[in-house]
Amino acid sequence: MPRYARRLQKIGSSTLISLPSQWVKDNNLKKGSIVSMDVNRDNTLVVFPSSEAADPAKEVTIQYSQASMDSLVNQVYGAYLLGYDMIRVKAAGSITYEDAERFKRAMRKLVGLEIVEEDRQTISSQFLLDPNTLDAEKILRRMNSLVAGMMREMIQAIQEKENLVKRSVGGRDDEVDRQYFLLVRLIRSAMMDQQLAGKLNLSNIDILDYRIAANLLESAGDFIVELASLQDFTRLAFVEKFAQAGELVEKMQEKAVAAFAGKNRAESIEVVSTYGRFNEILDSIKEASAAEQKSPESTVAVLNLAYSMDRIARCWVDVADLVKPVHLIAPLKNA
């Protein structure tokens, strides 16, 4: 990407700079053309060719076929994530009642997407949120809060040896998915629209990091749901130690997301240190389980829970790793 240097000029009370002639030519600008400027949060200034007309809404029409409903629902999700503002499902004949209900359930899982028109042949939905008013960090923190609540319920279920957590955890994971889709849509839109990226104060590396962090939070939510579905807590051994390990996972999550949002390397290193203590507890559980030589079912239950908790903990280590430098380059020594 070319970089240009310009000297400020003063004419009357105005301070001026000249625009690169090639840039003016490439964007078909001339005397009297309007350009728009955004001041980013880091005080940089971005100049865009024209603000005379707003970009037209992106629209897509998905052809309905009763034989490929799974594919059609996936196309709705894909269109949403790609930033389409108007998504239509259209049939040559008519859409069955059951399929129409399925489409509407799918659309309701997407934040900001509302059904604006419906008849026997067409279901039209529109994204009604202004991306300029959204905040990637706030959406990520909302996801984090939901996942943290799910983890707290899991720890309580372990401590009380009860299996009633599955339904409430699953419901919260649905909301995690909704926020995840919204965040992915936002950061993909920012990738394609540098003006939006500037307003959101997202550099290219920020966009990539938010995409990875959002995926890790969504994965952690899925792991918690999977754990709630598979694990029988009523016969669980080593309850106190598992609860201690779970509390460390909670601390890792809190520190990892705070470190990512604040670009705090000290907190990210603390997450890795906490993961070490977490592993020590898991190792002690595994050793105690092997020494007791109880039934194979009991041993498998312990190992499954340890493995599941480790998968969740690793999500927070990976979030923290987005903050730390990937490697340090040692200075070259003189030959």
For 168-199, how does the pLDDT look when each residue is reduced to its tens digit (9 = 90+)?
787 888 999 999 999 999 999 998 888 888 88
Distance, CA of 103 to CA of 69 (rounded, Å): 9
| Residue 330, C-beta contacts closer than 8 angstroms, at least 6 positions apart | none
Q: What is the pTM of this model?
A: 0.77
pLDDT per position as a tens digit, 226-241 = 888 776 666 667 888 8
- In Å, how far are 142, 252, 281, 322 from 315, measured between CA atoms? 17, 9, 18, 11
Is the predicted pLDDT of residue 251 greater than 50, yes or no? yes
Q: Which residue type sits at 228?
A: A
Distance, CA of 282 to CA of 305 (rounded, Å): 10
Helix, strand, coil shares, percent, the chain, to 5: 60, 10, 30
Distance, CA of 150 to CA of 263 (rounded, Å): 25
CA angle 119, 101, 128 (to 5 degrees): 70
- In Å, how far are 107, 148, 151, 162 from 168, measured between CA atoms? 22, 13, 11, 13
Residue 332 binned pLDDT confidence (cut-offs 50, 70, 90): very low
| 282 CB neighbour count, 10 Å cutoff | 21
DSSP 3-state of 155: helix
Q: DSSP alpha helices (H): ranges in 293-332?
A: 296-321
Q: What are the phi and psi torsion angles at 318 (to 5°)?
A: -65, -35
- Tell me the domains of the chain and their CATH numbers: 59-127 (3.30.110.140), 133-321 (1.20.58.220)
Average pLDDT over every residue of 46-61? 68
Confirm if 124 and 117 have CB atoms less than 8 A apart: yes
More confident residue, 292 or 96: 96
